[in-house]
Amino acid sequence: MSSTEATIHAFLAAERAHAERFLAELVRTPSDNPPGECRPHAERAAGLLEELGFTVERHPVAEARVRAAGMVGVTNLIVRRRFGPGPVVALNAHGDVVPPGEGWTEDPYGAAVVDGWMYGRGVAVSKSDFATYAWALRALEAAERAGARIGGTVELHFTYDEETGGELGPRLLLEEGISAPDLAIGAGFSYAVIVAHNGCLHLEVEVTGRSAHAARPETGIDALEAANAILSALYGWRGGLAGRVSAVPGIGAAQMTIGRIEGGINTNVVPDRVRLRLDRRMIPEENPEAAEAELRALIGAAARAHPAARVEVRRILLAAPLTPLPGAERLSRPLCRAASRILGETVTTAGVPLYTDARHYAARGIPVVLYGAGPRSIEEANAHRADERLPLADLARATEVVALALLEVLGGHATSR
């Protein structure tokens, strides 16, 4: 271990409890999306970052854009720390979280620590990486104070609409020129460096018929009957996705889930309207536009069996898959080296079947990978389900990994005094 690496290690060890308290405060401040009122959390996070000595830029998103995205309030945060000439590396984590849902054994906003695991909604996805990235940057500052020469700039991008697509977060920051990084790291877990992920298509299918008394159903148009034909076609087609398997380790096969359905008026009324929403996960090898066209054709063919009903298909989200860009190895290699050393096992690159805000950086030609604090899988973290949790040991390890990788990327080295 070099003297600079020893400085980073000692600083983070001394600050471990502080970083955990910081994370607990973020978990205790709700930021559920929906409904998407995330401004209080952004203000709390900004205040905590300012207490650490950072200058925090607040970038509120215009109300009209927020409302159009189905949210209530969004303020993005940026911290910029320039060490000297060199590349700009952005570290992005999101503070919005899915609602807690049912089945918790711990308070979802309590940040309870049980057997070394902190519990709470967002503790793993991805409020933990607010702490990971903030303390990694603080560790670089400690190394600089100890004499390390570091070139380049680190930016913290803390955004608030990942759960609804990231259009108001990273995409807006990049499109409006608020930030123009050369490289980016997005929130992830500790035991793999993610270089690819699935794309995602959300479609809403609305079937409109005509209501009628249940005593005379033939006088109406049964929207649910037509919707059932569409559902049957979709479920029958879904089995074929098992054969569409990505060559990227960790991705697996393409998927389709019908996650929501609503409709009808009452038990004794022919249903006049049914809406359903589906989620189609596309492997990196798939073309998003072609995947959407395939589904629209399938739905249209099923709907023709009930010509009296009107069927409308609306795109809610189309998120492209993430595939590695040239230059991503400038991040993945240092992260793999540092993680293998700190975790005591071989850490390699892989893919995940999720979709993330990382794609917005890639869409702008910015090489991006995912790495942060978390256990080995989203299942172990209980991500997006009851009792979401994070091993606090992994928070400490991931922070040191990110700090050491940044030190390498930014050319840091120890100097004598």
pTM of the predicted model, to two decimals? 0.91
**Digits of tens for pLDDT over the chain (417 positions)?**
899 999 999 999 999 999 999 999 999 999 999 999 999 999 999 999 999 999 999 999 999 999 999 999 999 999 999 999 999 999 999 999 999 999 999 999 999 999 999 999 999 999 999 999 999 999 999 999 999 999 999 999 999 999 988 999 999 999 999 999 999 999 999 999 999 999 999 999 999 999 999 999 999 999 999 999 999 999 999 999 999 999 999 999 999 999 999 999 999 999 999 999 999 999 999 999 999 999 999 999 999 999 999 999 999 999 999 999 999 999 999 999 999 999 999 999 999 999 999 999 999 999 999 999 999 999 999 999 999 999 999 999 999 999 999 999 999 754 333
- In tens, the pLDDT along 127-142 reads 999 999 999 999 999 9
User: 119 vs 13, 97, 98, 105, 222, CA distance in Å?
Assistant: 22, 14, 15, 9, 46
> Are 155 and 131 in contact, with CB atoms under 8 Å apart?
no
In which residue are the tokens 């096992």 written?
Answer: 345
Amino acid (one-letter) located at 414 = A
Q: What is the dihedral of CA 345, 351, 352, 353, to 10 degrees?
A: -150
CA 243 – CA 241 distance, rounded (Å): 5
b vs e for 200-210, b when ≥16 Cβ sit within 10 Å of the residue's Cβ? bbbbebbbbbb
The alpha carbon of residue 90 and the mean position of all alpha carbons in its chain are separated, in whole angstroms, by 15
- In tens, the pLDDT along 334-363 reads 999 999 999 999 999 999 999 999 999 999
pLDDT reported for residue 304: 97
pLDDT reported for residue 165: 86
CA 195 – CA 197 distance, rounded (Å): 7
Domains in the chain, please, with CATH? 3-196+321-409 (3.40.630.10), 199-319 (3.30.70.360)
